[in-house]
Amino acid sequence: MSGDGGVLVVGAGVAGLSCARALTDAGRAVAVVDRARGVGGRCATRRVEGQAVDTGVAFLHGRDPAFTAVLESVPATCLSGWPVDVHGSGRPCQPEAFGPGERRLSYAEGVNAFPRHLASGLRVRTRAPVERLDLSGKRSRAVLEGGEALEAGTLVLALAPEEAQRLLGSVPEPPGQVASALAVLGTARSDAALALAALYPREAPRPPWQVSYPEDSSILQIVSHDSSKRTAPAFLALVCQAHPRWSREHAEEPLWPDLVLGELARLLGRWALAPVHRHPHRWRYARTDRSAELASPLLFPLPGGCRLGLCGDRFAPGGGVEAAWISGRALARRILAEEDA
């Protein structure tokens, strides 16, 4: 029998869900765990005072026909082409997002509609942080905080590279393959992004753009006019994300949200200093630079008999949500191909 032992995917971001989806569709037994309360990872939508706010990814973009087809199949109100009105000549988080042939969109319900769609029908367990791994036997073991151990023939880490490194660092007597995986993960670091969602009364001056990449700010890389995605927003919502370097340097500084608001006020006017609600979030591993990208996911057969796979947005060319989705699917295909071989 092929594929016995099942697959455990750690990380319910787009890469992990894409991998789990493809394996499930091929009839494999798959379980997904994530430490967070919901699925989607950085494809995150929070409810702030009842209003949906995208605090990570502001919009989705890509050109792979299979990927854009999945985006369009999401049962949500698709905002095709969003953002249409782009302001500023600063460097976008992903410059290729505005390249020719690139499809852009968002959802009125929030970008999280995409990962939730990927997760529908999957066995996903949230609030289940994995603490350590044991990869010595025929079945891999992921031990959750609290001591419960989950077993599977194939273990997939669909995490930020630094988080995968931390878990692989917990493997007792690591075989050479784990050392190789750690070395590949160690070839580059993720960029951080400090993100602040600021909500203002509906009467506040509305920016005449949907996304701004301010060219003259050393603090803010992107300001997303989030409420312009919503059908009947109660608030004007702006989501600011700081440049990678500034974010890294200020991540431990308690007052960083005030510095971000100060910069926003400099760009938009003094009214922006005083939102009625604010929701700060530190994305420690927000994205990887293009210079760090890898060509494909990793899949190692281990001496004890289990297999270790790694995927994520760094494990496919192009970066971003599209690369995450592609890497997860590519890893699933390799897992299936090696079972059939």
Please provide residue 10's backbone torsions phi and psi, each rounded to the nearest 5 degrees: -100, 115
For other proteins, the closer CB: 196 or 302: 302
Secondary structure element (H or E) that encloses residue 300, with its range: strand 298-301
**Cα separation, 165 vs 178, whole angstroms:** 10
**Cα separation, 126 vs 36, whole angstroms:** 6
For other proteins, the closer CB: 70 or 302: 302
> Is 107:77 a contact under the CB 8 Å cutoff?
yes
Min. distance of Cβ 253 from other proteins in angstroms? 32
Min. distance of Cβ 302 from other proteins in angstroms? 11
Min. distance of Cβ 132 from other proteins in angstroms? 22
Whole-Å CA distances, 294 to 67, 93, 173, 291, 310: 19, 18, 27, 9, 11
Q: Could you tell me the two tokens for 245?
A: 């370097």
**Cα separation, 335 vs 170, whole angstroms:** 24
For other proteins, the closer CB: 65 or 146: 65
**Cα separation, 9 vs 142, whole angstroms:** 10
For other proteins, the closer CB: 77 or 180: 180
Enumerate the β-bridge partners of residue 300.
308
2 residue type, one letter: S
Min. distance of Cβ 274 from other proteins in angstroms? 44
For other proteins, the closer CB: 18 or 288: 288
Min. distance of Cβ 186 from other proteins in angstroms? 9
Min. distance of Cβ 146 from other proteins in angstroms? 33
Min. distance of Cβ 53 from other proteins in angstroms? 34
For other proteins, the closer CB: 21 or 314: 314
Min. distance of Cβ 177 from other proteins in angstroms? 6
Longest alpha-carbon distance in the chain: 67
For other proteins, the closer CB: 197 or 316: 316
Secondary structure element (H or E) that encloses residue 157, with its range: strand 154-157
For other proteins, the closer CB: 275 or 318: 318
For other proteins, the closer CB: 207 or 312: 312
**Cα separation, 111 vs 59, whole angstroms:** 7
Which residues contact other proteins by CB under 8 A?
176-177, 179-181, 183-184, 187, 290-291, 293-300, 315, 317
Three-class SS state of 207:
coil
Please report where in the chains the tokens 């608030």 appear, as a residue: 235
Three-class SS state of 40:
strand
Residues sharing a CB contact under 8 Å with residue 232, sequence separation 6 or more, in sequence order: none
Min. distance of Cβ 95 from other proteins in angstroms? 14
**Cα separation, 26 vs 23, whole angstroms:** 5
